[in-house]
Amino acid sequence: MDPMLDFTGKVALITGAASGFGKLLAAELGKRGARLVLGDINMDALDKLVADLEGQGVTALARRCDVSSEADCKAMVDTAVEQFGRLDMAVNNAGIAHGFIPIHELTGELLDQQMNVNVKGVMFGMKHQIPAMKASGGGAIVNTSSMAGIGGGPKIGAYAASKHAVIGLTRTAAVESGRKNIRVNAICPYYTRTPMLEGGEGLASGGEAEQTLAMMAAGSPMKRIGEPEEIVAVMLMLLSPANTYMNGQAVAVDGGVSAF
């Protein structure tokens, strides 16, 4: 197997694994030899995913994880170490968004919701993942941010604030942990076809969904939104054991939006 894509024997932890990027990444890492500890609050979907992966010969464990709870984040890391003896990779992927609303209509409650999941989930995750990786000799962490974490997020201001915070945490951890042989990077997708976008309460749901998707596609030089596989391909690159010097980066996967 190409060393860029060989994860044989590695132990990977993924939050928000029951759908979207997390679900697809779990399958891709599993078929490349990784052992998986998968977390989500949707246990029905997570248990089904683990059963499907095990049917394909992948070693995977499901753990309920509300990433706004430090205890849950710690328990995932403890599970990896107890069951597999180490932790090599972590993807802090769980997150939430909110509907389109201008800054002057945002509420403190809405901001708190975004920060509790999108920011605390990354902070609590890394707080416990980094010591476990240090004990394992090093590792790689990928945090899911957004293009709204690099620039402005019109009408998704609370979400944008939380995703800017993810990049701040990522870069801080990269500087602090580089000497421990732990690389920390963030991935920043443009609008992509996931349940967060097209699900029941997604940004492009409801009666104006097609118009919303068309508006999003028009904002990209490629005149389309992203596909989950395109984002996960970059996640694999960021996690790759052969990618040994890329650290502290916020990687835009955006069809060229950031080139404007």
Measured CA to CA, the distance from residue 260 to residue 256 in angstroms comes to 7
Q: Which two tokens stand for residue 5?
A: 């894509």
Let me know if 159 is a catalytic residue: yes
Please report the sign of the dihedral spanned by the C-alpha atoms of residue 61, residue 138, residue 118, residue 127.
positive
Residues with Cβ within 8 Å of 235's Cβ and at least 6 positions away in sequence, in order, are: 21, 25, 91, 142, 187
125 with 67: CB under 8 angstroms?
yes
Q: Which two tokens stand for residue 105?
A: 């209509």
Report residue 185: phi and psi, to 5°: -135, 160
Q: Which two tokens stand for residue 201?
A: 């309460």
Q: Which of 159, 190, 191, 245 is catalytic?
A: 159
Task: Please give the positions annotated as active site.
Answer: 159
